[in-house]
Amino acid sequence: MCVNSLQSCIQFTTSTITLQNRWDHFLARWSFNRSGHRVEPGLYALGSPQEDSPVFVTANYTLSFDALRSALGEIDSYIMVLDTKGINVWCAAGKGTFGTDELVHRIENTHLHNVVSHRVLVLPQLGAPGVVAHEVKNRSGFTIEYGPVRAADLPEYLKTRQATPEMRKVKFTLWDRLTLIPVELVHVLLPLVAIAVALFFIGGFLTSLAAVAAILAGVVVFPLLLPWLPTHDFSAKGFILGGLIALPFAVITFLHNPDAALWQLVSRIVTYLLALPPVTAFVALNFTGSTTFTSRSGVRREIFTYVPFMALLFGAGIILAIALPLIQLLGG
């Protein structure tokens, strides 16, 4: 629904999160119709805003929009939604879509100058990597006020228009990490099943299970245990976790083959210890892109430090795994 106000098309919204909204959020978290969780860009009225009501800016991703409007509650305000192609604020800022140009364009497009008498826009802090505040002011006359990181802190923030240091910090809590797992899992599911089936026919049940365990350790367990695994590097943490996962398989091999020759047992155990940890480590390294604190320089350093080592170890494990039955076949 649209109300014409001096050529502006203003849509209405509420601060109520419905069951349908929650279902939409759930689907988004599970990566269903990944880029389809959008709202229409433009200007929205929350409650009964007047010309002196505040204007908040957000992305056209439903989770971003819904977080903002539900946090504002009873506060009469305008919400300006930028076209970020359905991407959240922080990622869009990094890409430039939650950016200076789109912001200036949207201000013009919505005729914001005719809607409000003041010249202030409250932006989420995490829009800053994409927005040059002083340039927006020069081009549109609107001053950028960076609000808190989390929309939930807005009511408190608005009392003083001063953010506490805590409001300006980004964390990576257990809950934050937990909510990322479904997306990672969904995207690894198909290759995981393929690998599991292939290895089952090639190497048997235990081999198949070991591979699945190594991958799932990286996708599910690693994000949960992240801050508690030793060292700072994701690859090193992944190696430690992968080593722990490989141990039970080594032990089971040892216990279930009492008749096998010692060299065969040792070889099999070594294969697990060589091939599994690099898999978990590599998956762990790839989690860097989902975190809120890894720098590009650091991740690049990790790649050059650990990936060759991962390839070497994994390759050695595979060669050994192939060589063992071959030697047996040739009468070892």
Query: Contact residues for other proteins (CB under 8 A)?
Result: 28-29, 31, 34-35, 61, 63, 85-91, 93-95, 125-126, 128-134, 146, 149-150, 163, 165, 168-170, 176, 179-180, 183-184, 187, 231-234, 236, 285-286, 288-303, 305, 307
State the nearest-atom distance from the C-beta of 164 to other proteins, in Å: 11
**Token code pair at residue 21:** 């909204």
* 223, 284 Cβ separation under 8 angstroms: no
Smaller CB distance to other proteins: residue 185 or 209?
185
Smaller CB distance to other proteins: residue 111 or 137?
137
State the nearest-atom distance from the C-beta of 92 to other proteins, in Å: 9
Smaller CB distance to other proteins: residue 9 or 27?
27
Of all helices (H) and strands (E), which one includes residue 328? helix 296-329
Distance set, CA 212 to CA 103, 135, 192, 311 (Å): 46, 51, 7, 18
Q: How far apart are CA 87 and CA 34, in angstroms?
A: 9
State the nearest-atom distance from the C-beta of 139 to other proteins, in Å: 14
* Phi, psi angles (nearest 5°) of residue 43: -105, 135
Smaller CB distance to other proteins: residue 181 or 209?
181
State the nearest-atom distance from the C-beta of 59 to other proteins, in Å: 11
| H-assigned helices in 49-173 | 62-72, 89-95, 100-109, 112-115, 133-140, 154-160
State the nearest-atom distance from the C-beta of 183 to other proteins, in Å: 4
Smaller CB distance to other proteins: residue 76 or 176?
176
- Spell out the residues 6+ positions from residue 276 whose beta carbon is closer than 8 angstroms to its own: 210, 211, 213, 214, 242, 243, 245, 246, 249, 317
